[in-house]
Amino acid sequence: MIKSYLTYPALAMGFAAEASLRAVGLICSGVFDRYPDVNVILRHLGEAIPFWRWRLDNHWEKEGKRSLPAKKHPTHYFKNNFFVTTSGMSWSPALQFVSSVLGVDRILFAADYPFESMEEAVQFMDNVPISDIEREKIYHLNTEKLLALSH
């Protein structure tokens, strides 16, 4: 599979495809039923999994619940066991969509340096049309809470 991605290395699609496949594998494996407090951080606003949520749940409902170890819809685990970062995704519609899918409390700021510009990532977050509290949550409050950091 990797050979296909090496044809277009400048598009950097291989990591996203592999990471999303591994994340869905974790979701379907039942690991979060055994360890419900485990959290996973995915880059790039969730490696396209937010976009695939309906399809994942739909196919789990049709067949997956009979054949996969996971006891709940994939959406349940994605919303409860995953955080996503803004890394490499400085585009307002994408952030707004992921926020509508996961909620702003599951989004963490990141810049994807050296592949993307730190300055562009900060400029994007400073200017994206969200509330000040949402901006503060994404910039640092969500990470502080997730990692139990104190001031």
- Residues with catalytic annotation? 112
Long-range contacts of 139-142 (CB under 8 A, 24+ apart): 139/109, 140/109, 142/83, 142/104, 142/105, 142/106, 142/107, 142/108
The burial of 137, by beta-carbon neighbours within 10 Å (0-12 exposed, 13-18 middle, 19 or more buried), is given as buried
